[in-house]
Amino acid sequence: MTGSPPTALRPQHPNPRPLRGLAAEFGLEVRGDLDGLDVTGVSLSSRAVQAGDLYVGVPGRNAHGADFAAEAAARGAVAILTDVDGAELAAQNAPELPVLVTADARAALGQVAAWIHRSDENPATLFGVTGTNGKTSVVYLLYGILRQLGVVAGLTSTAERRIGDEAVTSSLTTPEASELHALLARMREVDVRAVGVEISAQALSRHRVDGLVFDVAGFTNLSHDHLDDYASMDEYFEAKRELFQPERARRGVVTVDSEWGRRLVAESRIPVTTLTTRDDVAADWRMTLGEELASSTTFALEGPDGRRLETSVPLVGWYMAANAALAIVMLVEAGYDLELIAAALERDGGIDAYIPGRAERISGERGPLVYIDYGHSPDAFLQTLGAIRRFTPGRLIMLFGADGDRDTTKRAEMGAIAARGSDVVVVTDFHPRWEDPAAIRAALIEGARAAVPEREIHEVADPRAAFRTALSLAGEGDAILYAGPGHEDYHEVKGEKIPYSARDDAREALREAGWLR
């Protein structure tokens, strides 16, 4: 299939299963001979097929996956799972392979992958985290705290898939079901006991977490985003709500600071524990903010029966404390003792977690504070700017762009929030993809000027030059927030992914300016 396949972690010692048993388990139509054939894996990309795989051909935007059956066969696929149209294509392209036919191969993929990889035998506790902002942070905070508790942990997030200290870069927020079940099987081989999974709305809508039931599901928040994929905020919410059904999760923890969280509690069909950071909202658990510094945030967490914990997170902003509080309550709901968690955190001087590209401080002890962040929604801008403002005595400079070929309705609001929350705005290109980058920049600048006409605004198309422009405007006591690229290591223009790491480039620019050694 077109494009490079995702880098995946697979089991090193797969346990073969008979294809005939697969066909019987799911009532699949069989075309061809399955006698003596075993399957050890499953792949949705013909270019990622390994010997012994079941290749799953699904309709795509420009082609049907079954068009690539010959490549799958050449790479060692033992059979093809596809729909009726795909079966005809597979017969033409790889007549030597048997074909299993189902009405919707993508919808069947999760359950089929679960069966092949024996996911129901996985002993690990599964944590699923959804929401607009904070998903990645909560997953990493779960991972960090679990390791402080001595638990072998894994995670899958927008940034990477991680098993202990082994990691590969992610290509999707939530991997396709074929990759996810293989990842969990690999984790089982090395005795991973708990796994955090970042779950996007698209993952729920597109069957990427099918075949799994999470022990605890967590909800962070809901704000304007992804309205290119969903017709309204209600539809976006309904996609998230799917995680809080008994077919998906056993228990839930919901942040109820907003009406969306409170609505989710009302409409959830699983037992739910609630968390708030607000004084005017009733909840089972309450997070109270402590000291906010340039490199850490302290907070207290109080729950039922007088249970209480005080600790810190090595990240900026009240919202990171809220993410940490959600992670802790999810652990408690999974059966971990709050006193043991508190003791581990006190021993280590707080939560020990690193979250790549999430309000990540790049600067050193001298010069302006510089943070690289993945936030690319209006609410993410609002919260991060507000957090940095609280400990910045000088000017706050905001550098950002907007995704091309994505939700255009949020661009004016992004520009407006940047102008209101900063002293200087620098607009640059960020993944214009197939859109005209100048038009994207113009929309952001229009939003900024409409909100604060007198705001100082710079338009610099090239991200490298844009950061150096921002840095030239900053000095001691000032801060720069570079929002958008976060952990990513490329800049996408007209289908080409051009190597670019905002974190590496910012460090280089700081060294050039004499602020870093």
Confidence grade of residue 379 (pLDDT, cut at 50, 70, 90): confident
pTM: 0.88
How many domains does the chain contain in total? 3
Whole-angstrom Cα Rg for the chain: 24
Neighbours of 148 (CB within 10 A): 19
Q: Which residue has the tokens 């109820």?
A: 256
User: What pLDDT was estimated at residue 137?
Assistant: 93
Among 141, 132, 421, smallest CA distance to 258 is for: 132
User: Which residues, 6 or more positions from 508, have their beta carbon under 8 angstroms from its beta carbon?
Assistant: none
DSSP alpha helices (H): ranges in 190-335?
201-205, 233-241, 259-267, 318-333
Per-residue DSSP letter, 4: P
| 235 pLDDT higher than 60 | yes
Where residue 2 falls among pLDDT bands split at 50, 70, 90?
Answer: very low
Q: How far apart are CA 280 and CA 277, in angstroms?
A: 9
Q: What are phi and psi of 363, to 5 degrees?
A: -75, 165
Average pLDDT, the chain: 93
Q: List the domain range (segments joined by +) for residue 471.
A: 360-512
List the CATH number of the domain containing 135: 3.40.1190.10
Are residues 313 and 461 located together in one domain of the fold? Answer: no
Query: What CATH number corresponds to the domain at position 36?
Result: 3.40.1390.10
To which H or E segment does residue 136 belong? helix 135-148
Contacts of 249 (CB under 8 A, 6+ apart): 128, 213, 214, 215, 216, 217, 243, 270
Q: Of 134-138, 182-186, 374-378, where does mean pLDDT reach its minimum?
A: 374-378
pLDDT at res. 231: 85
Cα 229 from Cα 246, distance rounded (Å): 25
128 and 99 assigned to the same domain: no
Q: Give the model's pLDDT for residue 41.
A: 97
Task: Give the model's confidence band at 240: pLDDT under 50 very low, under 70 low, under 90 confident, else very high.
Answer: very high
| For residues 231-235, average pLDDT | 91
Q: Where are the beta strands (DSSP E) in 131-236?
A: 153-156, 160-163, 166-169, 194-198, 214-219
Is 1 a residue whose pLDDT tops 80? no
Mean pLDDT within 41-64? 95
The residue out of 281, 312, 347 marking a domain boundary is 347
Burial of 476 (0-12, 13-18, 19+ CB in 10 A): exposed
Q: What CATH number is associated with residue 489?
A: 3.90.190.20
pLDDT of residue 173 exceeding 90:
no
Last residue of a domain, one of 347, 370, 390: 347
What's the average model confidence in pLDDT over 443-453? Answer: 97
Q: What is the pLDDT of residues 350-371, one digit of tens each?
A: 999 998 888 899 999 999 999 9
Do 300 and 334 fall within a single domain? Answer: yes
β-strands 17-18, 369-373: how paired?
Answer: unpaired
